[in-house]
Amino acid sequence: MQLTVWTYEGPPHIGAMRIANSMDGLHYVLHAPQGDTYADLLFTMIERNNVRPPVTYTTFQARDLGGDTAELFKSSARAAYERFKPEAMIVGASCTAELIQDDPGGLAKALALDCPVIPLELPAYQKKENWGAAETFYQLVRAYTGAQAPAPGATRPQRAAGERARCNVLGPTSLGFRNRDDVTEILRLLADLKIEVNVVAPQGSRPSDLARLPEADFNIVLYPEVAQNAANWLKRTFGQPFTKTIPIGVGATRAFVKEVCELAGIDSTAFLSRERSRLPWYSRSIDSTYLTGKRVFIFGDATHAIAAAKVATSELGFKVVGLGTYSREFARDVREAAKEYGLEALVTDDYLEVEQAVRELHPELVLGTQMERHIAKRLGVPCAVISAPIHVQDFPARYAPQMGFEGANVLFDTWVHPLMMGLEEHLLQMFRDDFEFHDGAGPSHLGGHGGARDASAEAPVAVMAPVATSEAIVLQAPVAAKPEGWAADAEKELGKIPFFVRGKARRNTERYAAERGITTITIETLYDAKAHYSR
Amino acid sequence: MTSVLASAKALQKEACATTERPVLRERGQREVFCGLTGIIWLHRKIQDAFFLVVGSRTCAHLIQSAAGVMIFAEPRFATAILDERDLAGLADANDELDRVVGRLLERRPDIRMLFLVGSCPSEVIKLDLSRAAERLSVQHAPNVRVLNYSGSGIETTFTQGEDACLASLVPELPTRDGGAPQLLVAGALADIVEDQFRRIFAELGMTDVAFLPPRKSRELPAVGPGTKVLLAQPFLTDTTARLQERGCEILAAPFPYGVDGTMAWLAKAADLWGVPRARFDEVVAPAATRARKALDAHKFRLAGKRVFFFPDSQLEIPLARFLSEELGMFPVEVGTPYLNRQQMSFDLDKLPAETLVSEGQDVERQLDRCREAKPDLIVCGLGLANPLEAEGFTTKWSIELLFTPVQGFEQAGDLAELFTRPLLRRTRLEV
């Protein structure tokens, strides 16, 4: 039993629903109690879809449990088939239906409907949304391509000379973070490279399109969380290689182009000889100097978190002070990435743990999900959203990809704009006591935003203490009350140090004093300690 | 093929001959929330209470998704997510629950009342939360009182969650010995509405007035045979039954929407207290006049318009009464997840005879009826609204009717405005 305030992922049947909603001609019949239909609003409200997701729920109630829920499932499946006449159906159970063990797969098979029916086994008490999406996509791909599997040992026929290379683009889904625009960006890139696209799936394809997947020379995996399993199967079965690079950031996009061109057997030199993103120059232009070493905390799904850490470090010059993910399936990848920055990855789906990590690390920028946006808002730290769980704001009206060269431009803007501009930050350091221009006021170009910094982050004593509001969940006991021995002027001087390093300065100074048996910390002690630790 | 609307109308005509209004009962896919959703407003109403759902990841996901597409205020609710170990019996679910509750209360020492809220999975595995609540109440006495109710989808539809919660509070209410009559207003109201009603009752000379739920869990009103209950919400079937068991009398009244609804609702209590009619008129006149004026500003936009209600919160029938009687709209179909004829009788009787009342749902068939009826305004849940808008219909999402102060005189105009806004918006947009 796990105590959960907010959850990063829904249950696995939501993942299946995302696949169903991504495709045309696929219908999902879900054995689920009344109330589970809430999931429709994820698509109609958050993603602003103009049609309902292609899902039929049995919505059983207590009175049905005494009767025949299996019959209810069968009549719902039959009615759904007759009404929607789908090309294919997926059937399964939500968490409660899993407990009553009606076997939707077997029941649907007995109906002998005039379309392929793919049963899904999504263990709701072990797995989560992304796993459910990956498993559903994999099962569909297998169902539609399995029959074409060549005999073991058979080699892939060579492409005819002069024939353009063809690829599939795998992974984009409904409710995926900026998937809509990423696909557009990547398809443009592939068109520029003169690489033919065979199938894009699941987003925008029909079940019957999946049968054509083996016709491609290779696969592009945009979101491993969703497409890794299917890509592995296609590689094993049809010898189709797939890409490993996620084209987020300029460097990664260039590496992606190289990887794709190698797979397609074309030369990428000419294409890469021209700079295609504004990010490199914007980052090198001197006004960006103030970005150097900004402390950034990163949390999201594995794909976006790893990519963000790379871009933050090597393309914006930030310092990554925390890196984590809620994608347990990809924990190893994130742990390895974290090592590159000398960090230990935070792998958790406990929102409270992430909040605590942000508090302790005092970042100057948080790149996270909507949850971290909330944490950052309360701590008064600037934040940009880089990953699902999805929010209505993650579907902007404008074109805003994360991937490709345009995606890199978008990253530069969205990560840099929440920060304080360079000169403003300097002035703030110099005139800390200015009554309308202090470090609690937030960046001047962002209006009131960021102005309400959490009282605990502001108060010199309580950087680590629980937030002041009585409603907040108390994360840990407050640190020992106001430490003894600070002279009033030293305490005041400490207040002039930027809030995100103030806690550290206090701890260092106290340790320095304790080690030397100094009982009263003066301004002298403070600067002695500063000099001591800066060596 | 006979049209679905025509066959529904036939049923209507057939039954019009009898005295009781016919109701179309449907069973099929129900596009409604479960009772857990009530936590979204209840956790704000009772300020020192915490709601711990004992359920699955779906429950946690539902609450955060349904809450206005994710609110991020610090919540006084959480989910204890059951995992495989709990189901396989590897971990004693009760020990696990005790551990989770212990951790939670340690973190939230300000909590005085904890509701263990049952869910579909906890009901299906028959986890006995009432015994757990008793045990935990003893463990955490006297600081925290632990209660339980079910908000599961297999047992409750949307607002029935509040009903179940309030019903679980009733046995906790202290006993009141006879004496002068006391008024109890049942059903969660916005604080501002509660204050307005309190002032009106005071002016009418009714001082012994209490509200359920209270704002603080330690301020539970005492009840007994002298208690007269006025229902502020139309979905309190179980709560009223529990109150009756405590000797309370339920006053039969319409619900306090609009001017007429509010007037009749207040009058019911005032009459019982023997407030002279002249005094009553004098007290309510200023607010009622203001409210009528406010309604007039909306009447010309709404009168003659046809409205279709999908089942959602059980507010549908009283709201249809308000729209039809006070604003001249015509309700084509009024769907309700569950019809309590007794509590609804005043409002139900005032609906036009031609209005189809339906109970339960088969969402696909109801959508067919709705499309055929081509109403001017559709009141429906969040899952249906945008797709219907995309088909060219004008919709009002029903959850807003629960998250907005709509009862009483001062809110009558606001309530009308909720229905005017989508229509007005259509006329404004040129894109």
| Helix or strand holding residue B272 (H, E) | helix B258-272
| pLDDT value of position B14 | 55
Q: What distance in Å separates the CA atoms of residue A23 and residue B22, rounded to the nearest whole number?
A: 42
Q: Chain A: nearest CA to B367, how far in angstroms?
A: 12
Find all residues with CB under 8 Å of A75, minimum gap 6, and list them: none
B229 bridge partner residues: B184, B250
Report how far Cα B263 is from the mean position of its chain's Cα atoms: 20
- Active-site positions of A read 287
Cβ separation of B91 and A392 shorter than 8 Å? Answer: no
Nearest alpha-carbon partner for A138 in A273, A315, A12: A12
Cβ separation of A44 and B70 shorter than 8 Å? Answer: no
Yes or no: say if A197 and A167 are a contact pair by the CB < 8 Å rule. yes
Cβ separation of B78 and A5 shorter than 8 Å? Answer: yes
pLDDT in tens, B417-429: 999 999 999 999 9
Of B37, B82, B153, which has the smallest distance from its Cβ to A125's Cβ? B82
At A144, give phi and psi (nearest 5°). -90, -20
| pLDDT value of position A434 | 61
Asked whether the predicted pLDDT for residue B70 surpasses 80, the reply is no
Yes or no: say if A41 and A50 are a contact pair by the CB < 8 Å rule. no
| pLDDT value of position A162 | 81
Asked whether the predicted pLDDT for residue B204 surpasses 90, the reply is yes
Q: How confident is the prediction for chain B on average, in pLDDT?
A: 92
Q: How far is CA A270 from CA A182, A187, A267, A498, in A?
A: 23, 19, 7, 47
Check residue A265 and give left, alpha or beta (phi > 0: left; psi -120 to 50: alpha). left
Q: What distance in Å separates the CA atoms of residue A306 and residue A339, rounded to the nearest whole number?
A: 11
- Tell me the average pLDDT across B195-208: 95
Of A3, A40, A370, which has the smallest distance from its Cβ to B70's Cβ? A370
Shortest CA distance from A474: residue in chain B: B107
With beta carbons under 8 A apart, name residues in chain A contacting B121. Answer: 95-96, 99
- Optimal mutation site among A6, A8, A38, interface B, most CBs of chain B within 10 A: A38
Shortest CA distance from B107: residue in chain A: A474
Residues of chain A with pLDDT under 50: 448-483
Biggest alpha carbon–alpha carbon distance for chain A: 85
pLDDT in tens, A134-182: 999 999 999 999 999 998 777 777 777 788 999 999 999 999 999 999 9
| pLDDT value of position A449 | 44
In A392-496, which residue ranges form alpha helices assigned H by DSSP?
404-416, 422-430, 455-458, 488-494
Which residue is associated with the tokens 């805003």?
Answer: A400
Label residue B314 by pLDDT band (50, 70, 90).
very high
Three-class DSSP category at B377: strand
Q: Chain B: nearest CA to A42, how far in angstroms?
A: 7
With beta carbons under 8 A apart, name residues in chain B contacting A38. Answer: 33-34, 37, 62, 65-66, 383
Yes or no: say if A130 and A15 are a contact pair by the CB < 8 Å rule. yes
In A146-285, which residue ranges form alpha helices assigned H by DSSP?
179-192, 207-210, 224-238, 250-264, 269-272, 279-284
Yes or no: say if A141 and A359 are a contact pair by the CB < 8 Å rule. no
Cβ separation of B65 and A33 shorter than 8 Å? Answer: no
**Residue A459 in tokens:** 């108060």
Shortest CA distance from A46: residue in chain B: B69
With beta carbons under 8 A apart, name residues in chain B contacting A34. Answer: 30, 32, 34, 153-154, 157
Yes or no: say if B201 and B269 are a contact pair by the CB < 8 Å rule. yes
Q: Chain A: nearest CA to B31, how far in angstroms?
A: 6
Write out the E strands in A252-374. 295-300, 319-325, 346-347, 365-368
Chain pair A-B, CB pairs under 8 angstroms: 197
Q: What distance in Å separates the CA atoms of residue A143 and residue B191, rounded to the nearest whole number?
A: 56
- Optimal mutation site among B54, B83, B111, B154, interface A, most CBs of chain A within 10 A: B154
pLDDT in tens, A516-526: 988 899 988 98
- Tell me the average pLDDT across B122-148: 95
Q: What distance in Å separates the CA atoms of residue A283 and residue A2, rounded to the nearest whole number?
A: 43
Shortest CA distance from A349: residue in chain B: B57
Cβ separation of B387 and A473 shorter than 8 Å? Answer: no
pLDDT in tens, A124-142: 999 999 999 999 999 999 9
With beta carbons under 8 A apart, name residues in chain B contacting A102. Answer: none
| pLDDT value of position B202 | 96
At A410, give phi and psi (nearest 5°). -65, -40
Yes or no: say if B321 and B347 are a contact pair by the CB < 8 Å rule. yes
Q: What distance in Å separates the CA atoms of residue A479 and residue B257, rounded to the nearest whole number?
A: 52
Assembly ipTM: 0.92
B52 bridge partner residues: B78, B116
| pLDDT value of position B18 | 52
Strands A2-4 and B77-81: antiparallel
With beta carbons under 8 A apart, name residues in chain B contacting A128. Answer: 57
Specify the amino acid at residue A210: L
Label residue B316 by pLDDT band (50, 70, 90).
very high
Specify the amino acid at residue A384: A
- Optimal mutation site among B120, B126, B362, B397, interface A, most CBs of chain A within 10 A: B120
Cβ separation of B154 and A76 shorter than 8 Å? Answer: no
Specify the amino acid at residue A484: E
In A362-458, which residue ranges form alpha helices assigned H by DSSP?
370-379, 404-416, 422-430, 455-458
Label residue B361 by pLDDT band (50, 70, 90).
very high
Of B83, B86, B120, which has the smallest distance from its Cβ to A33's Cβ? B120
B24 bridge partner residues: B358
